[in-house]
């Protein structure tokens, strides 16, 4: 039996990052993967979707070239080539993870791993043991009883990335990050898209002002949006698919070639031996302490299988924290109140901290500032005037409670707010920090100035 200090089960952005950090700290490390190194994020999630969205962005530029004083005749897209490029990017990244495993002397064990008591894992009949086992098996597309996926007419995110033929009409059920990103991609490519969202606002976890702005932008681009609506049944017996949608006004029938179900995720915790070991699970999540220890000593869990936000960067941070604690380093628990969220549709959405409603509900006396990109010289010059930056501060102490952005490139801008909040900066400190001009990022300073009644360009 092969013996290790640490075995990581799953090689997504939580698992492979954990394995690398463990190796750096001197642990003899192995990682188990049943499919492709890099997990869903590199192969079927974050990375290939961004490749698709980049193709959509370039195509959008070509279609609107005349807005920039340029002429492009008969711009066309090759759907198969767009998908092929996306898969090529994903494959390249997966190979990069293979290189990192070799570089860091991490043993890669291919196969399906099942936990055993006594800190052991069985991989397709071969047993391995470790002082510590870290579960990082991630999640997959969740299925609703009223919306069973057949992989052809009712699909999840995997199939949405590799369709053989571009659909003429698509219904997207759910308007979280996955839903709105694919809605934007297919709409830009020329598919007629309808979004069906159960809650009153699209991207419902975001600040309400952001949700309303994205809805306006999407409708302007031709996407139909139905909120406070629920798909109650689907009929796939015909050539396409028919969906019965329950709304406040009554039932409505929608027809399309394909339905994309983007209603959340389901953790990959079945058949991995949790019951055999006695690891406690609650509502589809493995329960852990602040340093990701389960109720059974020697077994840990990170990423989507635990109760925290199901985000790649969260899984990576949790894994690093977990092994650094095992190495005896002095570490602090992760601050889940300062996790940035990013959505890569167009316009992009990025946020961190409390929404305005959450801040009010918590009893804060707040200062709110908002700066529209329509007043930004850089945004206007770039032809990207949609959106704004919104900031929320505690009026008494100047604490930066939340930051919410919608616009071009805001997923790269949000880090300023995350770092500022980590360093416990105040509104006045942000305001007196010189921001470069002309940039999109100076909108952060301008929004803060608006909160303190000192805004110049609005």
What distance in Å separates the CA atoms of residue 253 and residue 245, rounded to the nearest whole number? 6
Are β-strands 154-155 and 113-116 bridged in parallel, bridged antiparallel, or unpaired? unpaired
Would residue 64 show up in a list of annotated catalytic residues for this protein?
no
What distance in Å separates the CA atoms of residue 411 and residue 342, rounded to the nearest whole number? 6
Quick one: how far is CA 359 from the chain centroid?
Answer: 23
With beta carbons less than 8 A apart as the criterion, state whether 16 and 38 touch: yes
Listed in sequence order, the residues at least 6 apart from 406 whose beta carbon sits closer than 8 Å to its beta carbon are: 210, 213, 214, 217, 347, 348, 349, 350, 386, 387, 388
Using CA atoms of 85, 88, 93, 96 in order, give the dihedral in degrees to the nearest 10. Answer: -140
Work out the number of other CB atoms within 10 angstroms of the CB of residue 338.
15
What distance in Å separates the CA atoms of residue 355 and residue 409, rounded to the nearest whole number? 20
What distance in Å separates the CA atoms of residue 205 and residue 197, rounded to the nearest whole number? 12
* 3-state secondary structure labels for all residues of 113-150: EEEECCCEEEECCEEEEEEEEEECCCEEECCECCECCC
Q: What are phi and psi of 297, to 5 degrees?
A: -55, 140
Which is the catalytic residue, given 64, 184, 404, 437? 437
Quick one: how far is CA 204 from the chain centroid?
Answer: 14
What distance in Å separates the CA atoms of residue 66 and residue 403, rounded to the nearest whole number? 34
For residue 237, CA distances in Å to 63, 159, 169, 242, 252 come to 37, 20, 17, 9, 18
Work out the number of other CB atoms within 10 angstroms of the CB of residue 238.
9
Q: What are phi and psi of 26, to 5 degrees?
A: 95, 5
With beta carbons less than 8 A apart as the criterion, state whether 262 and 173 touch: yes
Q: Annotated catalytic sites, by residue? A: 437
């Amino acid at each position: 039996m092969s013996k290790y200090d640490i075995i990581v089960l799953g090689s997504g952005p939580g698992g492979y990052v954990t394995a690398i950090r463990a190796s750096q700290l001197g642990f003899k490390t192995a990682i188990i993967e049943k499919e492709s190194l890099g997990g869903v994020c590199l192969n079927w999630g974050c990375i290939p979707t961004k490749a698709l969205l980049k193709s959509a962005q370039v195509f959008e530029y070509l279609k609107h070239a005349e807005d920039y004083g340029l002429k492009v005749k008969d711009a066309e897209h090759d759907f198969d080539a767009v998908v092929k490029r996306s898969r090529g990017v994903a494959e390249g990244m997966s190979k990069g993870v293979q290189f990192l495993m070799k570089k860091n002397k991490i043993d890669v064990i291919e196969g399906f791993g099942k936990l055993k008591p006594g800190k052991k894992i069985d991989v397709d009949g071969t047993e391995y043991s470790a002082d510590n086992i870290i579960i990082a098996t991630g999640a997959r597309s969740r299925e609703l009883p009223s919306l069973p996926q057949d992989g052809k007419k009712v699909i999840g995110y995997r199939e949405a990335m590799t369709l053989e033929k571009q659909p003429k009409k698509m219904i997207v059920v759910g308007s979280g990050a996955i839903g709105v990103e694919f809605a934007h991609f297919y709409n830009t490519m020329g598919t007629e898209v309808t979004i069906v969202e159960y809650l009153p606002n699209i991207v419902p976890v975001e600040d309400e002002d952001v949700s309303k702005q994205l809805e306006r932008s999407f409708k302007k681009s031709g996407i139909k949006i139905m909120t406070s609506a629920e798909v109650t049944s689907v009929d796939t017996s015909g050539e396409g698919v028919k969906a019965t949608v329950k709304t406040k006004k009554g039932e409505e029938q929608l027809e399309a070639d394909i339905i994309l179900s983007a209603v959340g995720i389901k953790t990959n915790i079945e058949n991995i031996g949790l019951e055999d070991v006695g690891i406690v699970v609650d509502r589809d999540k493995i329960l852990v302490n602040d340093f990701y220890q389960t109720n059974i000593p020697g077994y840990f869990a990170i990423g989507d299988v635990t109760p925290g936000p199901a985000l790649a960067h969260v899984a990576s941070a949790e894994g690093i924290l977990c092994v650094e604690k095992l190495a005896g380093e002095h570490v602090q628990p992760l601050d889940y109140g300062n996790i940035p969220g990013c959505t890569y549709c167009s316009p992009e959405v990025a946020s961190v901290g409390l929404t305005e409603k959450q801040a009010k509900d918590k009893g804060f006396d707040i200062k709110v500032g908002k700066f529209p990109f329509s007043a930004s010289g850089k945004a206007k010059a770039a032809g990207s005037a949609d959106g704004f930056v919104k900031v929320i501060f505690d009026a008494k102490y100047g604490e930066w409670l939340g930051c919410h952005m919608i616009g071009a490139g805001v997923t790269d801008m949000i880090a300023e707010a995350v770092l500022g909040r980590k360093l416990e900066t105040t509104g006045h400190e942000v305001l007196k920090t010189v921001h470069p001009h002309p940039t999109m990022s100076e909108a952060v300073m301008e929004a803060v100035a608006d909160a303190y009644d000192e805004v110049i360009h609005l």
